[in-house]
């Protein structure tokens, strides 16, 4: 399978299922930014249930901005907040401490652009998963690409994939939560995560 996807912030499990099962991945670089999508947010399993972690971005006076031109808002220390949330959510998971140092650069480096940050999260997680990922990048926007189009996955409301359950930290309190950020799978399943991704139905 050859697929086209939006790079998002610590993408959902569905994104990584596509990446793990594709022979070729193209990342969409020529789209217009849309609010309320996972381009700048992820969902984790917190002690209080599902939690949204949102990256603040600089708002422009222009009506339309391309995602690759979106700048991060540096007035808030969102990195510290996000890492504290991850710690509260996953400190007791089997593999948080194992991967903690690997993901730390995301919360230390001061990126200017959202796209650079998103690509960094994908690169780091791919290494943790031992997923060989050699993406290419689109140079123009195709409404009807030749590749299998998974770009709608960046909009959580349009991502309706249901995947097999795996153990989660707060499952006894709130039950199984489907298709969270890839970090949920990584911290709970560790090295088994890649074989899980390859076995899921698309």
pLDDT tens digit string along 99-112? 999 999 999 999 99
Evaluate whether 26 touches 1 at the Cβ level (below 8 Å).
Answer: no
Compute the distance between CA of residue 72 and CA of residue 62 in angstroms, rounded to an integer.
16
Q: Using the structure block, give the residue that is written with the tokens 């540096």.
A: 74
Looking at residue 60, its pLDDT comes to 81
Report helix angle 114-129 to 182-189, nearest 10.
30
| Average pLDDT along the chain | 96
pLDDT at 27 over 80: yes
Contact 15, 37 (CB under 8 A): no
Does the pLDDT at position 172 exceed 80? Answer: yes
For 30-67, what is each residue's pLDDT tens digit?
A: 999 999 999 999 999 999 999 999 999 998 877 789 99
Nearest to 64 by CA among 35, 39, 29, 26: 35
Confidence of residue 75 (pLDDT cuts 50, 70, 90): confident
Is residue 44 exposed (0-12), middle (13-18) or buried (19+ Cβ within 10 Å)? buried
Give the pLDDT mean for 192-200.
98
Model confidence at 76: pLDDT above 90: no
- State the pTM of this model: 0.97
* Rounded distance between C-alpha atoms, residue 95 and residue 186, angstroms: 7
pLDDT value for 88: 98
Number of domains in the chain: 1
The continuous run of DSSP H or E covering 41 comes out as strand 41-46
Structural domain boundaries enclosing 143: 2-199
- Residue pair 178/160 in contact (Cβ under 8 Å)? The answer is no
Q: Which residue has the higher pLDDT, 170 or 76?
A: 170
Angle between helices 114-129 and 96-103 (to 10 degrees): 140
The pLDDT score that the predictor gives to residue 127 is 98
Q: What is the token pair recorded at 158?
A: 């349009």
CB 182 within 8 A of CB 175: no
d(CA 158, CA 153): 6
What are the residues whose beta carbons fall under 8 Å from the beta carbon of 176, sequence distance 6 or more? 165, 168
Element (H, E) at 4: strand 2-5
């Amino acid at each position: 399978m050859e697929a086209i996807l939006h790079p998002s912030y610590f993408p959902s499990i569905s994104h990584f299922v596509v990446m793990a099962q594709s022979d070729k991945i193209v990342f969409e670089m020529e789209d217009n930014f849309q609010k309320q999508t996972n381009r700048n947010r992820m969902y984790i399993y917190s002690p209080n249930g599902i939690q949204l972690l949102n990256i603040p971005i600089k708002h422009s006076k222009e009506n339309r901005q391309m995602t690759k031109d979106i700048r991060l808002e540096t007035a808030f220390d969102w990195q510290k907040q996000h890492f504290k949330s991850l710690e509260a959510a996953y400190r007791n998971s089997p593999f948080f401490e194992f991967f903690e140092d690997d993901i730390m650069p995301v919360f230390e480096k001061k990126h200017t652009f959202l796209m650079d940050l998103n690509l960094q999260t994908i690169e780091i997680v791919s290494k943790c998963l031992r997923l060989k990922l050699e993406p290419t990048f689109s140079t123009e926007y195709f409404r009807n690409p030749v590749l299998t189009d998974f770009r709608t996955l960046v909009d959580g409301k349009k991502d309706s994939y249901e995947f097999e359950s795996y153990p989660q930290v707060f499952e006894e309190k709130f039950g199984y939560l489907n298709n969270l950020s890839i970090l949920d799978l990584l911290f709970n399943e560790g090295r088994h995560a890649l074989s899980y991704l390859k076995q899921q139905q698309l």
